[in-house]
Amino acid sequence: MRKSRLSQYKRARLLELFIAGSTARIAAELVGVHRNTAAYYFHRLRVLIAEHVDKHTLFDGEIELDESYFGGRRKGQRGRGAAGKVPVFGLLKRGGKVYTKVIPDAKSRTLLP
């Protein structure tokens, strides 16, 4: 994270507490920043980690693929036709990593490279 109004010391301290598994609220108290600042910093760290993993992780061996729908209302029509549901595509490496991504639709032109 390049542009930040936090000092190098505070950023390093927040990173240290993030790695240690501290909550954003506790980290904010220890470093002396607002809890929203610490929560935002922790969120940005998670986003950076996810982007790095997405770019540098390849699946090999046996994998399982599937799409699912989440959200929407319970009553009425089920499955693909239910309004308000969000399609999610997932990959699972047997005994290992899981990769999920929200997709605009579950059509083959969206899912195939």
Calculated CA dihedral for residues 88, 92, 97, 100, nearest 10 degrees: -10
pTM of the model: 0.54
pLDDT of res. 79 = 60
Contacts of 30 (CB under 8 A, 6+ apart): 13, 17, 22
Q: Above 70 in pLDDT, residue 81?
A: no
Nearest to 63 by CA among 37, 41, 39, 95: 95
Taking the domains of the chain in order of start, what are their residue ranges? 8-56, 63-111
Beta strands 85-93 and 98-102 are antiparallel
Token pair of 8, please?
Answer: 């190098």
Cβ atoms of 59 and 91 closer than 8 Å: yes
